[in-house]
Structure 1
């Protein structure tokens, strides 16, 4: 999309041109109004928050703590945006501002389905965590490791592999998900992870995360100069919040297992928005992560999912070489792998619950913000 020339407008969009003062006939060189200053502060806040997210190193990006921070960013932006809406009821009742804000609320309704399937995806990861728990407590004991403990661990690892393969195949072959390997095995072993549906419990069988993201981003373009002028800059605030919503939902879909996760969503935003650079940089980094050979068919780019796969693979390779009675060297090797697995297990145990609650809070905050916003603008 070609860059939009914002230079003809007043102080209400100063934030779109960093370190450059812009004066219009309306402002006449005077200090900006409180409304203009608040709109500028909102742009700066979004830029600062996303710059902080973009500063994460490769080990932090897409980890549970980083996703927490991403959702905190959304909630913070949402709160500031709600304040802007409540203070500008008069303008938001008039065209074209009313159209912009209504489009945002329509996008936010579509985001509610994404929140629901993300919570289901977190529950799926929790099932994988339970299989790690079985392995961890079976082998992490002060006693010598026996054949029964190894057999129990191997069964848990097989169930874990079935569950993860099922989710991968269901995502890569959306139309044929009922014929996936894990689903067939679920009929044979009702205690295995194969019985956990790849389909979300919260949406229909035909629901697609990729299509939902397309719907959220449909017609999401920067406001034109005359629209910015007619809304005293409010159109820029609405566009900014819409883009924050869009990016956050896309990132959740990229990170957490959900049906039809296609990530080939194009982000078009002029870099004259001061928050555009960190958002586009994060988008590119996440896409690069998805292109890595070991992540191409992943059921989610969450860092901890990759750690589950690595730990499970190492444990499987190790248990395949075990013969009884165990030598001290082999038992020591098992204990070392179990310690590594324990770090991943406790990270999931401590992180998934708070993450699920935060996704729930995002859901409820979107609902409340929409209800209050619609009430305030009549």
Structure 2
């Protein structure tokens, strides 16, 4: 073979064939990678739906006595945190798709809801602080009426009555104070201090450092969060490779958890008229809507909150107030026994609040931090 033959490159046909094989291999590798990503994404989405379902089915299994207790609310917030963390992972693993239509719109709406959720966390934290302030009055009642090696005197009863009056005022919203206070005032046997106590309560309310404005409304905020929260259509699910489903799921979980929190603790302008309607194909829909119905049935007008321990405090206060208004000296043996029985009930409720409020508030703050982190990450994802 001549030297000129040796210097010739491969024929055009061979070169074209080689490029075809290379492209085919690239397409095969790309297809395999795409299939792997799709399979991983499907597993993530399925795992997320399962966790949400399992968490809320567990919450739904609570007895009527356990529902809306401090322990149950903590369990609810923990469920939210766990679901939220898995949802964040889904967003992180699919962040390149978050700016694509139609997913970009639903993601943007989700992050807007997160901002509104921060206000509800703040208001709930303030509500917990309000309940914590009640403990001081309850402690005075317990100290005044406890007969540890001393006879119960009229002075002790008067001290307890004053603490009960202060507590009753503290438990009222400022807007309800003028209409409700006179009746409560008469029940305590104090006829001349109405204006003084009303001014005192107003001053306390205005001096409290609220992190939401005085015109802020929990009911309106919940309505704003629930606005336009609708299940994704089939075309949207296909166009987003299924990612529209976890976004809708997390929006619904967020709404329910915030609604339950507002239901449980004192909040400005509480209102629970939020509808929860979830299509049957979402497995978590049944426990969520069932819990919504169970809680809704407990709503009471002018309630400080549906938290179990708050209801117990209100019941104890009514019983002890009736008792101190009716006692006559010298005390009869049956009256002494009734005082001890009422104090025993109050000690249990006092202990539950004293031990439960701090962990509950810490968990509300943790929810706040998780939401803040997710919102900050969202700014990076969506620009």
Task: Give the TM-score category using the shorter length.
Answer: 0.7 to 0.9
Distance 1:266 1:228 in 2: 24
In the alignment, is the contact (CA less than 8 A) between 1:209 and 1:262 conserved in 2? yes
What is the CA deviation profile of residues 167-219 of structure 1, one whole-angstrom value per residue up to 9, with x for unaligned ones?
2x73xxxxxx6855559978614896665439981222221111101111110
CA shift in 2, pair 1:327/1:311, >3 Å: same
Q: Show the counterpart of 1:7.
A: none
- 2:13 is matched with which residue? none
Change (3 A) 1:200 1:63: farther
- Which residue pairs with 2:292 in the alignment? 283
Gaps of 5+ in 2: 1-34, 186-192
Q: What residue in structure 2 maps to residue 157 of structure 1?
A: 164
Number of residue pairs aligned between Structure 1 and Structure 2: 338
1:322 aligns with 2:322: no
> Contact 2:124–2:261 (CA<8 Å) still a contact in 1?
yes
**What are the Cα deviations for residues 276-319 of structure 1, in whole angstroms up to 9, with x where unaligned?**
000000010011111xxxx3331211111111111011111111
Counterpart among 247, 255, 259 of residue 264 in structure 2: 255
Q: Distance in 2 between matches of 1:157 and 1:194?
A: 18
| 262-271 vs 243-252, which moves further | 262-271
Residue of structure 2 aligned with 1:240, choices 246, 249, 258? 249
Structure 2 residue aligned with 1:197: 205
Task: Please identify which structure carries the higher helix content.
Answer: 2
Aligned to 2:70: 64
Other structure's SS at 1:188 match: helix
Measured in 2, the distance between the counterparts of 1:114 and 1:373 equals: 20
Q: Is the 8 A contact 2:230 2:248 kept in 1?
A: yes
Match of 1:75 among 60, 75, 81: 81
* Residues 294-333 of structure 1 mapped to structure 2, 5 A cutoff: 295-333=300-338
How well do the aligned residues superpose, as a CA RMSD in angstroms?
A: 2.5
Counterpart of 1:371 in structure 2 is 376
Whether 2:110 is the aligned partner of 1:94: answer no
Look up the match of 2:7.
Answer: none
Unaligned runs of 5+ in 1: 1-28, 171-176
- Counterpart contact for 1:186–1:195, Cα < 8 Å: no
Q: 1:89 to 1:65 in 2, by over 3 A?
A: same
2:142 maps to 1:142: no
Match of 1:355 among 360, 365, 371: 360
The separation in 1 between residues aligned to 2:201 and 2:351, in whole angstroms, is 20
Structure with the greater alpha carbon radius of gyration: 2
Contact residue 169 and residue 177 of structure 2 kept, 8 A: no
Q: Secondary structure at the match of 2:298?
A: helix
CA distance in 2, matches of 1:83, 1:374: 15
1:163, CA displacement in angstroms? 2.4
TM-score of the superposed pair, with normalisation by structure 2: 0.82
Between 1:196-205 and 1:31-40, the stretch displaced more is: 196-205
Contact 2:97 2:103 in 1 (8 A): yes
Q: What is the Cα deviation at residue 374 of structure 1?
A: 2.5
- Label 1:101 to 1:348 Cα distance change in 2 as closer, same or farther (>3 A): same
TM-score normalized with structure 1 length:
0.83
Structure 1 segments (4+ residues) deviating >3 Å: 29-32, 177-187, 189-196
The alpha carbon displacement at 1:353 in A equals 1.0
Match of 1:216 in 2: 225
